[in-house]
Structure 1
Amino acid sequence: MTDSETTRGRLRAFAVALAGGVAAVGGSYAAAGLTPAFAAAPVSAVVVANTPDAVVTWSIQTLGDLGHQLGFALALALTVGLFGAAVGAAGALADRFGLPGWPFAGLAAVAVAFGLSGALGPGLAAGAGAAAVVAAAEFGVRTAPDRSAVRRRVLRAAAASAAIGGVGVVLGSRRGGDSTGGSPAADVSADVRELLTEADGKSLDVSGIEPLVSRDFYQVDINSVDPDLNAESWSLRVTGAVDEPRDFDYETLTGMDAEDRFVTLRCVGESLNGQKMDTAVWTGVAVTDLLGDLPGECCVMARAADDFFEEFPLAALEDALLAYEMNGEALPRGHGYPVRLLVPGHWGEINVKWLTELEVLEEPQDGYWEKRGWHGTGPVETVAKLHAVNHLDDGRVQVGGHAYAGTRGIEQVEVSTDGGETWTTARLSDPLAETDAGEGESWSGPDVWRQWEHTYDPDGPHEVVVRATDATGTLQPREESEAFPSGPTGWVSRRVEP
């Protein structure tokens, strides 16, 4: 065999192996969708776990959601490479013994997929995809005597890979990628309906901003593939410095005395005027009902099914909620189905989703984000966001947005239309929740946003600036700071052309 023929053979083998890797990923996705059984899911988790903290921080602040997507794209590429290497090794072994390569390629892909996710069904689908590609490449001849034959084999492999990948995307998008976790609650309770009606009635009529109960709630996770839990097999363990460990299953938890709350969540890593702040009606059980009286202990570590963990002082959990419904329906999978933690007044990043354990600690420990330099367990910064600039038919300009100060509540929002020289009090939506703390209770305020709007006659191009004052009388800080490590601060401004 000439050097040219050897080179062509190696290129053909590489191209077929790569196509087989793509098809294997497509087959796995077709069977599993975007669930932990998908072969790329554990690879993505490894990528996340091994990304340097500085890179994570830079990505959050600079790339935002794009950084998360690029990380998952890297995981997909690595998964294709793993399958491709296995398919290539299997083909080399088959060639050595003069046997068809497709059975070996299929078995190799099954082994890799099962080794990654432990799921047999998606593993068999990955094997079928890889075997089909190699079989297409081998169809008709076992050798590649000339360049045109090499090209035909590679083209057949590529065509089969593209077809399998396309079918995988279509089928996989119907599996595990939807937003629902379990069955909706049989009936939205009268109390939740009343709260949703209240929020609808109190929402300001301002085009371009979310109503008081968000239509599209933001989602941020450490991994690209969410856990896919079953409420029937789920349980919450209370462990650590307790008299006796306890387990609560879903039926027991949902059978306890429940409460409904408006709660706003805001992402610590968002930009100052970003869109990652939303509100919902949450239904759940007070954390203290499960922990009981623990006056001598310091902290609690909350752990999740996706290996996320966060530590809280006991005082922070006095008004925390174990939520299992969102707006009257079972939690969506992407928001922590079947049960998540809501800690009033803290940044959204530490409100643990897919909760599986509450460990009572005797000594403080760093949580997931604290280990990476963030300070999510601090109280949220006060902010007034400017998201709407509407030019009305009568020539006036309407500006609007949301304001939020955690459990401190919002007292007022002020608007300047001359770059901060003079200020006017904006119109606020009525509060969604009033403080109703009885004797001995520690509830410090409504952990919920308010809408604001201001309509005025413009006088040429101008700069609009907004700022908020919380219910303690403290003005939103003017000094601008980046999101890392304790959340962004500053007054929001925007240039407006009449």
Structure 2
Amino acid sequence: MPVSTSESAYDRRRLRQWLAGEARADGVARRDMLRLLAAAGLASGGALPAFAAPAFAAPTNTTAPGIVKPLPDDRFTVRGTNAESKFASFAGTGYHTPADRFFVRNHTSTPVLDAADWRLTVHGAGLRGGPVDLTLRDLKRLPAVTRTAFVECAGNGRSFFTSQQGQPVSGTAWTLGAIGTASWRGVRLADVLRRAGLHRRAVDVLPRGLDPDYVTADGTNLGRVRRPLPLSKALDDVLLAYEMNGEPLPYDHGFPVRVVVPSWIGIASVKWVGDIEVADQPLYSPWNTDFYRLFGAAYPEGGSAPLSRQTVKSAWELDWDAALDARVAHRLTGRSWSGAGGVVRVEVSTDGGASWRRARLHDTPRRHGWVRWSTDWRPSAPGSYTLLARATDSAGRTQPDTTVPNTQGYLFDAVVRHPVRAV
């Protein structure tokens, strides 16, 4: 399940508080809140408006508006304002994804900020006192923490809803390259909140980015990217990171400071964070109401609870439709990961799923990370073949044959059918 029992209960409690006038919905229309209430079983009677999927720009492979770093063709596929990593480029790079291969997910464009001018403002009714401003130097005076974690877009794998399952979805047509794992260095968000004077009535924490306002295709200005976190998560393992793989954050990955929320969908890890609101009431934004929920025939009319943890996935470090020599032994490699725990088993098939065998794992399963794996294969004759990889995590979740569809194409976790040719 994408949301734990405690997280679902938390969401229902927030909705009840909104109904009682004790919560604030920042930039969320009343009709959207009614959908959420219906999904939680808290609204009574009356037909609710049908969900209309938001419009997204068509993918393009020619430009990357607003992305600063180079995007060579052997490492990236440009998709509008985003750049997807080519998974084959991860082969031989080690456990951590180099910054020059790390995917870019931008709602608008990368801001080029000056660290000397940057300030983080912590404010809100969930503090005991007034706003607190922190410079980068102030952050670096706090105890530093280094944590390895993957960051993955909720739509990673989205294109397979259509190409494998024949189901149309909206959004950027990612394959499996909207993920990267890095060593993040920074400070605990918990330490910053406590320094700012956390009040016992605090319930939600809302980081907001410094990138330009996001304007939808119909001209609606939704403001800067922001998504609330429950206080319990904010005080658990969330970082305010200022380094990535031992270097200052690159511009496209949040310089000078970003949020890193381990194992949760990427939108929670707000880049270029500029302020954090600490609230004594539940908060909503478009990024946990219209976006990043599951809508569709299999879900309540108002959609699922807001998405949090990532699903389990596997990918081969091979080009799509790669050509391999027939009757020659090959060492094939890949990676598997999950938001619920470390991956403990990977099974592979080189005959389209007719038979399976265990892959060799090359990393100790770890929370928030992935495992690299390999298998040997000798194609017996020239022709077309389909490779499959299926992971199981420490929580007992195994990749299914198909994923229940949703209109925005989130959380695809089915086994991907990877074509290759023996020549």
- Fold shared by both chains (TM-score > 0.5): yes
| Contact map agreement 1:398 1:455 (CA 8 A) in 2 | yes
Q: Is the 8 A contact 2:345 2:391 kept in 1?
A: yes
1:221 is the counterpart of 2:106: yes
Q: What does residue range 30-41 of structure 1 map to in structure 2 within 5 Å?
A: none
**Which residue pairs with 2:94 in the alignment?**
211
Cα pair 1:270 1:483 within 8 Å, conserved: no
Q: What secondary structure does 1:254 align onto?
A: helix
Aligned to 2:395: 472
Q: Work out whether residues 128 and 199 of structure 2, in 8 Å CA contact, stay in contact via their aligned partners in 1.
A: no
Higher relative contact order (CA 8 A, sep 6+): 2
* Matched-pair identity in %: 28
Label 1:319 to 1:259 Cα distance change in 2 as closer, same or farther (>3 A).
same
Tell me, in whole angstroms, the C-alpha distance in 2 between the residues paired with 1:234 and 1:209: 36
- Cα distance in 2 between the residues matched to 1:237 and 1:207: 37
2:274 maps to: 356
> Structure 1 residue 462 and structure 2 residue 348: aligned?
no
Q: TM-score, normalised by structure 1?
A: 0.55
> Where does residue 267 of structure 1 map in the other structure?
153
Counterpart check, 1:299 vs 2:204: yes
Q: Shift of the alpha carbon at 1:462?
A: 3.2
Contact kept? 2:324, 2:421, Cα under 8 Å:
no
Tell me what 1:492 maps to.
416
- Pick closer, same or farther for the CA change 1:335–1:65 going to 2, 3 Å: farther
Tell me the residue number matched to 1:288.
Answer: 190
Which residue matches 1:189? none
Aligned residues: 301
- 1:290 CA displacement: 1.1
- Range 260-269 or range 391-400, more displaced: 391-400
Q: Specify the code of the residue in structure 1 equivalent to 2:348.
A: V
Q: Which runs of 5+ in 2 are unaligned?
A: 1-50, 71-87, 159-174, 212-223, 294-305
Between 346-355 and 271-280, the greater mean CA deviation after superposition = 271-280
- Asked whether 1:422 is paired with 2:355, we answer yes
Contact 1:265 1:348 in 2 (8 A): yes
What aligned pairs does 1:381-396 form with structure 2 within 5 A after superposition? 381-388=311-318, 391=324, 395-396=328-329
Larger Rg: 1
Q: How does 1:27-426 map to 2 (within 5 A)?
A: 54-57=53-56, 59=57, 63-64=58-59, 177=68, 208=91, 210-215=93-98, 216-224=101-109, 226-240=110-124, 241-244=126-129, 245-271=131-157, 273-292=175-194, 296-306=201-211, 307-317=224-234, 318-375=236-293, 377-388=307-318, 391=324, 395-426=328-359
Q: Secondary structure at the match of 1:288?
A: helix
CA–CA distance in 2 between the matches of 1:213 and 1:343?
17
- Counterpart for residue 30 of structure 2: none
Displacement of 1:234 in angstroms is: 1.4
> Deviation digits for residues 121-153 of structure 1, max 9, x if unmatched?
xxxxxxxxxxxxxxxxxxxxxxxxxxxxxxxxx
Structure 2 distance, partners of 1:386, 1:483, is 26
Post-superposition offset of 1:231 = 1.6
Q: Secondary structure at the match of 1:218?
A: coil
Output the aligned Cα RMSD.
3.0
Superposed displacement of residue 454, structure 1: 1.1
Query: Does the aligned pair in 1 maintain the 2:208–2:225 contact within 8 Å?
Result: yes
- The answer to whether the Cα contact below 8 Å between 2:90 and 2:97 also exists between their aligned partners in 1 is no
Describe the shift of the 1:468–1:401 C-alpha distance in structure 2 as closer, same or farther (beyond 3 A).
same
Distance (whole Å) between structure 2 residues aligned to residue 425 and residue 283 of structure 1: 35
Answer whether contact 1:209 1:400 (CA < 8 A) is retained: no
- 1:365 deviates by 2.5
Counterpart amino acid of 2:55?
V
Task: Write the distance in 2 (CA, Å) between the matches of 1:308 and 1:68.
Answer: 23
| Bigger fraction of residues in helix | 1
- Partner Cα separation in structure 2 for residue 246 and residue 298 of structure 1: 18
The residue type equivalent to 1:382 in the other structure is V
Q: 1:316 to 1:264 in 2, by over 3 A?
A: same
What runs of 5+ residues in structure 1 fail to find an aligned partner?
1-51, 74-175, 180-204, 435-445
Counterpart contact for 1:482–1:489, Cα < 8 Å: no
1:239-275 Cα shifts (integer Å, max 9, x gaps): 1121012221111101111011211111122335421
Paired residue type of 1:402: R
Matched residue, 2:43: none
CA distance in 2 between partners of 1:68 and 1:177 (Å): 12
- Structure 1 residues 67 and 360 mapped into 2: Cα distance closer, same or farther (>3 Å)? farther
Q: Tell me, what secondary structure is at the counterpart of 1:243? A: coil
Q: Deviations over 1:51-106 (max 9, x none)?
A: x984534x4xxx4465985xx59xxxxxxxxxxxxxxxxxxxxxxxxxxxxxxxxx
Q: In the alignment, is the contact (CA less than 8 A) between 1:340 and 1:352 conserved in 2? A: yes
Q: Partner residue of 1:164?
A: none
User: Contact (CA 8 Å) 2:183, 2:244: kept in 1 or not?
Assistant: yes
